Every structure is written in structure tokens, then in C-alpha cells.
Chains A and B, each alone.
Chain A
């Protein structure tokens, strides 16, 4: 590759900055709307947001917590956006997480004596594989038989959630002495540095791969016009299925991080609602890796700051969910395009 020229860098920078306008607007509007809700319920929005900000970024512990919440959202956002480009609406992320987590919880049962790093390695691989297969099921049904993937995905979520509840009571890894359904403590722990490093690496590979590699190009073209891509000879179905597999693997990895890196056990409902966070972050980023990381950071910070919010102010922690709801709502609107949209061209 030749040396980059300054002009090219500028163009890239402009593109990059423009890509942030829409998500920033969506988030600002959401905060304003949620602020109005706070005012009407008798609170002070500035005070509330101040508490959120302090909680998320004001201390080393808060910052650590913010990163901890942001990482899985990034993985889920990548998962959602990768599938979304193929026209596959991956609403089954929670199901993928629950099944992957079951696999992770099961690993110490059959290789308990093995060294920790080996167990972790198996957990990562197995979690990714199980998540990927779970995501492949609706994708196969959709692209080979034309069955709606949203229906299948939502139903699979129920199956996975209820299956994990059952397994956490009756499987070999279920802890019978705990007060709620959960697994035994997992002794092999995924180090935080590995999680941060892994996610950074995946984001970089994703961002560069999308722009610079043949699979990335083909995926982008399928996203822009699948019929055209097929007519040009791209193996569209194969690419789509591979992307569904990788997308599911990303959800699985998010679950591996949660179970083996944060909680050190799997408990009932640990991933409930996380799929929506990933989807929202992907919508904020509009498929761009920078925007998605930004969106994940905002959502992660909201979660991490919510404790401080409820401790320091009279505003309940549920405000965070109100903000999230608004963000999801406004992120679906492409504000940039909306602003400039006019009559479409008519004619023949």
C-alpha cells in the first residue's frame, strides 16, 4: 500500500466527524427528553445528570465499572450490526448469550483439573461456537426457507432463557446450596486486561476489515444491494451465513466475559435485556465502529452511574432506563438524512 496523502487523511477525518453528528444528536435529544420527565416528576435533571457523570467517570472505581459495562455492549453492538448488514435482524442475542453461558459454566465440570488458562481458552472457544450456532439457526431458516428470523429469534430466546433456568437448578454445574438458581463458582477467571485487550483487538479488526479486506467489501456490498451483489457473482448466501455465525459468536463472547470475567458464575437471568443495549448501540453507530464504541460507552456509563444517581439524589435509578428508551427511539431516526431530506425525484 502506498503512503497516505494528507488530503486523504482530511477526507477520512471529515467522514469520521460527520458520522458522529447523528449519534450525538440522538443522545443529546434523549437526555433532554428524559430531563423533562425528571422535571415533571419533581427532580432536578442537572443534578441527576451530574450524579450520573460523577458516578460513571468521577472515580477510578466508577471508571472501571463503566468499562466493565461497556465491553459486552460493544460486542453485542458488533454482533447486531454485522448481522444487520446482511439483512438478518439478530434479535436472538440474549438466547445466544444464555446458551453460551451454559457452555461456559459446564467447562469446569469436565476439565476441572486442567490449568486455569486452558479452561479459559476452552470457555472462549466453546462460548463463541455455541453462540454462533444459536445465531445460525434462525439465519438458516430465513435464507434457505424464508422463515421470519425475528419470530424464530424471539422464540429461541424463550427456549434459551427457560432452559438455563432449568439447567441452573438441575444440571451437574447447578449449585444446590444457593438461594437462587446459579452455577458453582467458576475458579478459572478471565483477567480484565485480557477482556479489554480482546475487545479492542476485535473492534480494530472489525473496523479495518470492513474497509480494507475482500470479505469486508463483499459484506458492505451485500448491505447496500444484495440483488446486485448476487448478480455480480458474490456468494451472498454463504457470506450471510458466515456473518450470522460470527455475529452469534460475538454475542457468545459477551456472555463468556460476563460469566468467566465478571460474575465468576452463571446465574438466572444474568443477560436479561442486554440484547437491547447492543441493538441500541449499533443503531447509534449506524454500523460504523467508532460510533458503535461511542454508543456503547454512553450506555455503559449510564449503567455504571446509576448507583451514584440513586444514592446521591432523589431521582430513582430507573431514570437510566428512561434515557435508554429515548436513545433507542431517537437512534432509529437518521437525523442527518432527516434534516436534508426533500421531495424525491419523480419522472418516468
Chain B
């Protein structure tokens, strides 16, 4: 039988990188095809080519036996639909309005709501959703919003469904539910392409696995009983690469950073943090987990000083810093690795000198009496490049041309070289390749051994479990549970906490 989609020799170049290098990809009817690989391996680029967002520089796309070239509208007409990693929805509008947006059924020039509502209702029922088609998107939780995205694509008549990292924002239970839906769709003959880097899930659901590495297809596996390590090897491409673990050798001191009864309300008066208390002790890594959007960013912003809490106190080494400016907090020994290095961690237009001294620029050795000491600044840069192995920098050039790993090394260098008492690390390895991940982990663990209290906020459960001494899970702004016995707890248990089922509550 003719495959639904055949991509042959696809090459897509961007100024700095060849994102896809003569990639072949075949999708059969009724197949769940997983596309795995590390960040930056070219998965999303390949799918955007298939979805018509990018035109390939070389190569052919065959859809249903015919060679095609098209844009996004053309892709939809051919029955190819994509669910993006970041939902493209308007929260204030209703489910049905979001679904028909751009494809409104019309009658005499008016929107034919009755027809739209009827079709949307059918789809909602089929997906086991009890929400009214007129409910606003903002009233839905993340898992439901994702289902709406899938429904939208099906509403447009997609027979090929591309899902970009659909499970990144889901709890394990919601993931199981999603897989049920995918299997149903498959039974109806819809083909699914599933981008992920979570191997266990992929092996569970996929009929076929294609592994990408550095823009090329590294390996292909047929689903069913695939060896996880074989896929991992193909993904990483190196033998014997092990992610560093916390040896949990406890040499933990007194509490350094303490938050008591934190409350935070957003602009609409919705509580984002509810009476949250926590403490981080010297030489300890406290992991903070949870589905994204359960108060993690507010917690970080309040601790760092970017946001004023609506209530509660933050103390650093016994001193109340709730009212301190960011600079005062940093002067007292707070270090901060922001979640987003592109917007908060670095000035991309600045050069490495400028990025390394920011925040310390007003004191020796970098300045004297308000004048910048350029020699000292350059020497500092040289030292940092050496000890943090920062590659690809040239003096005076904006850091935006560096790779993600090297950018993160600059952030690390700036924050760690100050020898902080407390380090707040938000998603410190997000989007990095495995070498860089290990580099970051190595430095975090070294700081821990040096006695720094580290608060690690991460969406990656594996990372939290292997680095934390202790773990708390946030759910709707409060602590759903604290886990001290990380060796014995299972990911499923943590999944329950992430979904808001309280396991046990201990007041810190």
C-alpha cells in the first residue's frame, strides 16, 4: 500500500546550521510514528517542512502518492495538521470559537454557529469531554486544552496528525489518557506523528520509531519490544554516556534560604501561590517539581526579587530579605540561573565581557570610581572561558551566535563565580545536549559539595529525581507533597502528586 506521506532527501538550512540533512521519512496509514531525538536534532524542523511552514531547500514530499509542494493552508487541505508545543489558542474565546477560528462555516455571510457547535459537540463527546462548546478556553486545564488542539486539527479534516512534544505539559495520568485517544484515532485510520524525547512513552505507543541526531536520521526501529537503551544510544550517538547523579552523600547544614507562608495573586486576583513555605539548607539540593504553571515561576520571581509577594516572608541566612532589591539580595549571596537564558539570563546583543560582569560592574575589580577597568574585565573573561570551557566566543561579538550550551555556560560562569550562598536554578538544562547537561549538573553538584543551598526548579522529572536531596511538588500554588526518600519513590507516585492528589503533607 502506498504510504500516506513520503519525504525524500529533505534538506533545510538555516544561516548557522543545517537543521535537516537529506532526511528520508515515511508514514504509513494508521501508523503511530514517533520521531525522537535530542533538542536541536531537527525533529521540529522536519515536521514544519511537512506542515508547510518551511519550504525545504532540497528534497521531495509525496502525499498520497503524488509529489506536492505547499504552504500551511495547502497542508491542511491535504489533511495534514499539526498540534504545536505551545498552544495557539485565545483564552477569552469559547471552545467552539477557537476551533472554527480561520475556518468559520458561513451561512448568508454570517457565522453558522449552529452547524459548528454541533460538529464540535460530536468531537467533544467522542473525546469524553463533558465541557460545553461555549465554555471559554481559560476555564480548561492544560490536558483539556491540548485535547481541544487535537480536536481542532481533526475538525479541519486531518488524516495526518503531527503532535510536537504533546506530553511535556501533561501528568503521567493525562498522558495515559492521551495515548488512549491516539490508539482510537489509529484504529480509525488516522496516522499520527509523535515528537518526543521521552523514550519510555515512545516505546509504549509507537508502531515505528525514527531517531534523529544532528539533522540526520540516526536509526529506525519497529515498535513493540524495542530496547530502550538501543534507542537512547542512537539518540545520543556516543557509547557509555551516563547522566551525572547526586550521590546523596548527606553533608547538609542549617537552613540558608527560607520562605514562609508565601502568597501571590495575579492581575485577576487568582492565587498563584497559596501559603507556600519551604527551606533550603546548606549543601542541599531542593527539587521543586510539578506541571508547569502551578506557581513555579511566581515562586522563583519572589525569591529572586523580580516580583513582590502578596504575603509572606523570605529570609536569607537568617535575615529578612522580603523588602530587599534584587541587587541587595545578590550582594547577600543569592545566585540565579533563570529559566529562559535568551530573555532573562543573557543580553543576546551584548558581548561576553558585558554579559559576565552584569550586576558586579559597579565594584572592583571591574570598575573603580565609576570607570570601567577594561583590563580586569578582559582578564575575568579569559579566566571564565578557561574554567567553564566556553567555546566559540570572540571578543566584541554578540553572544547570540553561540550554541545553547555555551550560552548557558556564560550564565553559569557569572552566577557561580560569585560563590553564592544560595543558588536558584530554574530549568538549568532545558534545551541542552547531553554533554552540556552533564556539564551543568557537574557544576551544580560541585556547588552543593561546596555548601551552597540550591533550589532546583525543573519540569524534567528524571532530572529532579537524580539531582535532588529532597523534592517538593507544587500543585496550584501550594505544596502537594514532600518527598525525602527519593530512592524508593516511583515516578507514578510523583505523577499523582503532580495531578493534585496529596500523598502526605509535612510542614517544613
Contacts and interface: CB of A to CB of B under 8 A. Distances in A.
Interface string A309-348: 0000000000000000000000000000000001111111
B58 to A, nearest CB: 15
Given A230-B306, A348-B39, A214 B371 contact: yes
Nearest to A11: B396
Interface stretch (A37-45, A56-64, A189-197, A216-224): A216-224
A233 interface: yes
B372 A212 contact: yes
Contact of B14 (A1, A228, A234, A343): A343
B19 interface: yes
Interface in A216-263: 216-218, 220-221, 224-225, 227-235
A2 interface: yes
B388 to A, nearest CB: 17
Contact of A230 (B17, B39, B44, B326): B326
B343 A225 contact: yes
B45 A231 contact: no
B48 A346 contact: yes
B372 A217 contact: yes
A234 B39 CA distance: 33
Contacts of B372: 212-214, 216-217
Contacts of A269: none
Contacts of B48: 346
Contact of B325 (A212, A235, A342, A346): A235
Interface string B343-375: 111111110001001110110000100111111
Given A231-B344, A345-B16, A213 B370 contact: yes
B336 A231 contact: yes
Interface in B5-45: 12, 14-17, 19, 39-40, 42-45
Nearest to B353: A217
A234 B346 contact: no
A215 interface: yes
Contacts of B295: none
B83 to A, nearest CB: 15
Interface in B64-93: 85
Contacts of B16: 345
Contacts of B354: 217, 220-221, 224
Contact of B347 (A215, A216, A225, A342): A225
B42 A234 contact: no
A342 B15 contact: yes
B45 A233 contact: no
A170 B431 CA distance: 68
B431 A225 contact: no
A1 B40 contact: no
Given A218-B361, A221-B354, A348-B39, A228 B327 contact: no
* Of A215, A224, A235, A348, most B-chain CB atoms within 10 Å: A348
* Of B347, B357, B371, B414, most A-chain CB atoms within 10 Å: B347
A346 B326 CA distance: 34
B357 to A, nearest CB: 8
Contacts of A344: 14-15
B304 interface: yes
B330 interface: yes
Given A11-B396, A213-B370, A231 B350 contact: no
B17 A234 contact: no
B54 A346 contact: yes
Interface in B270-291: none
A218 B348 CA distance: 15
Contact of A214 (B327, B336, B346, B361): B361
Contacts of A228: 343-347, 358
Contacts of B325: 233, 235
A73 B359 CA distance: 34
Given A213-B370, A213-B372, A225-B343, A234 B396 contact: no
B338 interface: yes
B431 A348 contact: yes
A224 B370 contact: no
A348 B349 contact: no
Given A213-B372, A214-B367, A233 B44 contact: no
Contact of B327 (A220, A224, A227, A235): A235
B347 A221 contact: yes
B304 A229 contact: no
Nearest to B366: A214
A348 B373 CA distance: 39
Nearest to A222: B347
Contacts of B330: 232-233
Contact of A231 (B44, B338, B396): B338
A121 B359 CA distance: 38
Nearest to B14: A345
A228 B357 CA distance: 12
A233 B326 contact: yes
Interface in A1-60: 1-2, 11, 15
A5 to B, nearest CB: 11
A227 B358 contact: no
Given A217-B354, A232-B326, A347-B45, 20 more contacts: A213-B372, A214-B362, A214-B372, A216-B372, A221-B354, A224-B347, A225-B343, A227-B343, A227-B344, A228-B343, A229-B347, A231-B344, A232-B359, A233-B327, A234-B327, A234-B358, A345-B17, A346-B12, A346-B54, A348-B431
Interface of B: 12, 14-17, 19, 39-40, 42-45, 48, 54, 85, 304, 306, 325-327, 329-331, 336, 338, 343-350, 354, 357-359, 361-362, 367, 370-375, 396, 414, 431
11 contacts: A213-B367, A221-B350, A225-B347, A228-B358, A231-B345, A232-B330, A235-B327, A344-B15, A346-B48, A347-B45, A348-B431
Give the top 10 A-B pairs by smallest Cβ distance, nearest first: A233-B327, A232-B359, A225-B347, A224-B347, A232-B358, A345-B14, A224-B349, A233-B359, A233-B326, A233-B330
